[in-house]
Amino acid sequence: MDIGFEDGGAITRAAVVVLAWPGLAVLEEVVHREPTRFPYVPGLLAFRELPAALAAFSRLSRRPDLVMVDGQGIAHPRRLGIAAHLGLWLDLPTLGIAKKRLCGRHGEVPDTRGDWTPLLDGDEVIGAVLRSRVGVKPVYVSPGHRLSLASAVEWTVACLGRTKLPEPTRLADRLASRRGRKSGSGQT
């Protein structure tokens, strides 16, 4: 699941891609567009993005077993990023995969694909800094809801393809940012 914006942020574009496991074949894609109702406030993105995401999920013909979200899970100052929010609303296991660190600190990330180092806030482990591809910046993985950190990392690594992002979020990112299939209004 990923969110994009159109018309300078006036329209929120939520994309959900359901993949088969194993194999990662695309089973279903939904794009939902609606007017943006909440301003951009760092750390409160769920208030801006969640309404469109929930609407997109409501259009699915099948209920996913696990949701990968382009964003933070508990690696968030309030331990409640969009992946955690979405998991609570949907009552599904969720994990967040972010391209940037929102909070916490970490040591050196090993350069081997699939290796990771803990993301810490004080003494609390809030996520993993994962090397998803050699020679590129790592991704930040954190559990959202009903999932351990070890499982979140395991699923992320299992869904990696040839790019930095795991396939579910890579495909959703393409749709949310309009680099994938186009849609008019509503569903694709």
**Domains of the chain with bracketed CATH:** 2-176 (3.30.2170.10)
pLDDT above 90: percentage of residues in the chain: 93
In whole angstroms, give the CA distance from residue 10 to residue 93: 30
pTM of the model: 0.93
**How large is the average pLDDT for residues 74-95?**
98
Q: What is the pLDDT of residues 26-37, one digit of tens each?
A: 999 999 999 999
Q: Is 70 marked as binding a ligand?
A: yes
pLDDT above 70: percentage of residues in the chain: 95
Q: Is 121 marked as binding a ligand?
A: no
Q: What is the pLDDT of residues 115-153, one digit of tens each?
A: 999 999 999 999 999 999 999 999 999 999 999 999 999
More confident residue, 39 or 185: 39
In whole angstroms, give the CA distance from residue 12 to residue 78: 24
